[in-house]
A and B are shown apart, each in its own frame.
Chain A
Amino acid sequence: MSPLQFVFLAVAAVTLIAAVMVVSARLLVHAALWLVLTLFGVAVLYVLLNAGFFAVAQVLIYIGAIAILFIFAVMLTRDVMQDTGPQQNTNWWLAALIAIGGFGGLFLLLSSWPGFSTALPDLPNEGQALADLGKALVGPYLLPFELASVLLVAAMVGAIYVSYPKK
């Protein structure tokens, strides 16, 4: 086993354990902090895949913005220190069913995928890949990119509308 494989297994294990803790932690803030660890694990996986940009973007967006917003929202909702409500609602069996179904479907699809046995091609220079990504975002994928920004703006306008005091 090469050191890289060892690191991958360790990181994957930590990520999975943290992900389980997210849904089973009793305190909501703890769940949010476990989520941060999970997202970190994913960032490390990106690094192992030689995708430094995605790793940094993952930390920046998911931890720097989304996770902090989660924690903030959790703090503002109910009794901050003693929030130990029930973890499941009545639909837990449906969620479990969908999760198992999704995992099974992916497993079936991927088990017949030939990519696992083929040799990996050499990655291009990462700086070049990054430049290509930037060009792709304003070239062939311009419409989805702009649609995503419009969606975000709409969400922001909606948030402002909801929170604006009615005159």
Chain B
Amino acid sequence: MAFISDPVSFIGAWLEGLLLGWGLAPGAVDFIMKLIGAGLLGMISLGLVIFTIWMERKLYARIQDRFGPNRVGPWGIFQTFPDMIKIFTKEYITPDGADKVVYNLAPILAVSAVILIWAVLPFAPTVVGTQVNVGVLYIVAVGAIGTLSLIMAGWSSNNKYALLGAFRAVAQMVSYEVPMVLSLLVPVILSRSMGLNTIVEKQTIWYVVLAPLAMLIFFISSQAEIGRAPFDLLEAESEIVAGYQTEYSGLKFGMFYVGEFLHAFTVSALMTALFFGGWRGPLAEQFPILGIAYFIVKAFIVYFIVIVLRISMPRLRIDQLLNFNWKFLTPIALFLLMITAIFEKALSQVDASTLVRVVTHLLVNIFVTLGTVEILRRYSRGERKRVAEPRPVATPQKP
């Protein structure tokens, strides 16, 4: 029964007992267990990409009224394997004048920065890579390594387009980190914890109900962090070839590709943990295996929305991108954070019931949203008036 309800912990406990039985020191056993866990997590996450690439290509094709991959296996589900073999056999080309060490290090960092996030994802009450009590901060910190890898790739390629892509990547990622962190702090305030598993445990009512606006801000800014459409300026094909990955070929390019797909799914999993109740669901606490199932199903639903967004949106211009971040997302995230903190403190002072708390937070979010929409409406009206004014195409030069 223990095996059926919680296979991961069961096997873990069994293996630990076995290793201890062989007379290994407890410290060494702990080390080996952590090593196995980390290896498994990395393999599972990379293996999952094989499936998500197929899923994304299939959906992409369906929305564009095509079939998509449909030759290898049923519904083309094994299409990624031939692609993988192809990319393994491709030649590596290192451009002349490239900075070799940095050039080769960048793709590795790009993937590892994403896999590092998996260390703190709570898949089930008992299945967590490691319990970091500053998990939310850890996620943001690890994201910085991803940004670093893009700069390294762009700089070391000895290519102007690659460097331009790197510049764009930094401008975009550093800016969008601000609203992302601010919106991440809202679940932290609501749950009084920075540990991801504690945040999930506290979500008797999903935080998407208590903080829908924070969820939206996090969703948008995390899309920019991944760097896909509509925020794919760092690899805009029509402008800068392929951005930071212009000079990469073979598996080195594949690493960036895998990193991007994995990041998209990882962000969906994070959204699930932070706002959609993570592993929570009926009977999940008694049977952790159900928790894993709920978590994966929810993550895939979010991932579906991520894909649809990517397919249906045109690319932004760089000034639109930065204006949207600094003039819209950041102020609203700051305001929301402050107002949530004030209301949460006030509600905890008067010992409000769960219902009152939920309704208050929901109302606050609705009012902030309405206010934002009103401000946006006035702004766009002014903009339209400004654009509609007749402007002389060429003004005569003053003598």
CB distance from B188 to the nearest CB of A (A): 12
The one of B134, B141, B167 in contact with A130, judged by C-beta atoms closer than 8 angstroms, is: B134
> For chain B residues 168-188, which have a beta carbon within 8 Å of chain A?
170, 174, 177
Determine whether A17 belongs to the interface, using a CB cutoff of 8 Å to chain B: no
Please count the residue pairs between chain A and chain B whose beta carbons lie under 8 angstroms apart in the complex. Answer: 72
Closest to B163 in A: A80
CA distance A56 to B132 in the complex (A): 10
Known interface pairs A56-B138, A68-B170; A63-B148 also in contact (CB < 8 Å): yes
CB distance from B286 to the nearest CB of A (A): 27
> For chain B residues 144-197, which have a beta carbon within 8 Å of chain A?
144-145, 147-148, 151-152, 155, 158, 163, 166-167, 170, 174, 177, 193-194
Interface SS of chain A: helix, strand, loop or mixed?
helix
Determine whether A132 belongs to the interface, using a CB cutoff of 8 Å to chain B: no
Q: Is the CB of A64 within 8 A of B177?
A: yes
Known interface pairs A68-B148, A75-B155; A60-B140 also in contact (CB < 8 Å): yes
B166: A residues at CB distance < 8 A: 75
Q: Is the CB of B134 within 8 A of A64?
A: no
CA distance A54 to B170 in the complex (A): 24
The one of A36, A52, A53, A80 in contact with B155, judged by C-beta atoms closer than 8 angstroms, is: A80
Give the interface size bracket for B toward A.
Answer: 20 to 34
Determine whether B358 belongs to the interface, using a CB cutoff of 8 Å to chain A: no
Determine whether A115 belongs to the interface, using a CB cutoff of 8 Å to chain B: no
CA distance A126 to B194 in the complex (A): 12
Determine whether A72 belongs to the interface, using a CB cutoff of 8 Å to chain B: yes
The one of A27, A60, A68, A81 in contact with B174, judged by C-beta atoms closer than 8 angstroms, is: A68
A67: B residues at CB distance < 8 A: 148
Determine whether A29 belongs to the interface, using a CB cutoff of 8 Å to chain B: yes
Q: Is the CB of A60 within 8 A of B102?
A: no
Closest to B133 in A: A127
Q: Is the CB of B141 within 8 A of A36?
A: no
Determine whether A57 belongs to the interface, using a CB cutoff of 8 Å to chain B: yes
CA distance A67 to B163 in the complex (A): 17
B99: A residues at CB distance < 8 A: 27, 29-30
B27: A residues at CB distance < 8 A: 3
CA distance A130 to B194 in the complex (A): 10
Q: Is the CB of B144 within 8 A of A68?
A: yes
Q: Is the CB of B141 within 8 A of A60?
A: yes
Closest to B145 in A: A63
Determine whether B137 belongs to the interface, using a CB cutoff of 8 Å to chain A: yes
A57: B residues at CB distance < 8 A: 137, 141
**How would residues 24 to 51 of chain B score, 1 for a CB under 8 Å from any chain A CB and 0 otherwise?**
0001000100000000000000000000
Q: Is the CB of A60 within 8 A of B148?
A: no
Determine whether A59 belongs to the interface, using a CB cutoff of 8 Å to chain B: yes
Determine whether A12 belongs to the interface, using a CB cutoff of 8 Å to chain B: no
A71: B residues at CB distance < 8 A: 148, 151, 155
Determine whether A33 belongs to the interface, using a CB cutoff of 8 Å to chain B: yes
Q: Is the CB of B140 within 8 A of A126?
A: no
CB distance from B226 to the nearest CB of A (A): 17
CA distance A143 to B177 in the complex (A): 28
Determine whether B143 belongs to the interface, using a CB cutoff of 8 Å to chain A: yes
Q: Is the CB of B158 within 8 A of A81?
A: yes
The one of A53, A75, A127 in contact with B137, judged by C-beta atoms closer than 8 angstroms, is: A53
A27: B residues at CB distance < 8 A: 99
CA distance A71 to B106 in the complex (A): 15
A33: B residues at CB distance < 8 A: 102, 152
Determine whether B97 belongs to the interface, using a CB cutoff of 8 Å to chain A: yes
CA distance A36 to B102 in the complex (A): 13
B97: A residues at CB distance < 8 A: 81
CB distance from B222 to the nearest CB of A (A): 16
Could you list 26 examples of A-B contacts with CB < 8 Å? A27-B99, A29-B155, A30-B102, A36-B148, A53-B134, A56-B137, A56-B141, A57-B141, A59-B141, A59-B145, A60-B137, A60-B140, A63-B141, A63-B145, A64-B140, A64-B141, A64-B143, A64-B147, A67-B148, A68-B144, A68-B170, A75-B151, A81-B97, A81-B158, A127-B133, A130-B134
The 8 residue pairs across chains A and B that have the minimum distance between CB atoms:
A64-B144, A59-B141, A60-B141, A56-B137, A56-B141, A53-B134, A56-B134, A127-B133
Excluding A3-B27, A53-B137, 16 further A-B contacts by CB distance (< 8 Å) are: A3-B31, A29-B102, A30-B99, A53-B134, A56-B137, A60-B141, A64-B140, A64-B147, A65-B144, A65-B174, A67-B148, A71-B151, A71-B155, A75-B166, A75-B167, A127-B133
